[in-house]
Amino acid sequence: MSETIHELISEADVAAKIAELGAQISKDYDGEEIYMLCILKGGVFFMTELAKHITVPVSLDFMSVSSYGSQTRSSGNVRIIKDLDTPIEGKHVLVVEDIIDTGRTLAYLLDNLQQRNPKSLKLCTLLDKPEERVTEVDVDYVGFQIPDKFVVGYGLDYDQHYRNLPYIGIVEFDEE
């Protein structure tokens, strides 16, 4: 089986949306410091670009959480592979995610983080697939709502490939 990638969201549209999100986040956190928490690996591209557009002080940290493996659908089994480097108690935490589909992983993660007593806890995602949601999560900042298609690019992968595409593309699998 091979795959073909079709552009869904252009590089220019992704860049414009990230700048817009950065401006809104900066306004909402005016006078505060944000502890930006990136969910690895896919969120790295998004968070680094987003941070460039935020005008309030930020600190960065990373977590690695897995529910996919090499599959195209979430398994529902969430594992924390890499935890935070510093405590988040009393901090304004902004979780930065590449995509939210079923919501299972984020619901688990947000519950876990809430138990660590942050001052506030918000969620920002580049892509949202509301049709896929099986567990509700409150998303504070959404870049794009997308259809229920498997997407790659801008940090999102298929079996560790295509993360480096500068746009968001839909993967179509070809039978051979």
The residue annotated as part of the active site, out of 98, 101, 128, 157, is 101
Q: Which residues contact 152 (CB under 8 A, 6 or more apart)?
A: 5, 158, 161, 162, 163, 165, 168, 169, 171
Pairing of strands 58-66, 34-40: parallel
CA end-to-end span of the chain: 5
Based on its alpha-carbon atoms, the radius of gyration of the chain, rounded to whole angstroms, reads 16
101 is catalytic: yes
CA 11 to chain centre: 17
**d(C-alpha 39, C-alpha 70), whole Å:** 17
CA 39 to chain centre: 6
**d(C-alpha 151, C-alpha 156), whole Å:** 7
Give catalytic residues, as residue numbers. Answer: 101
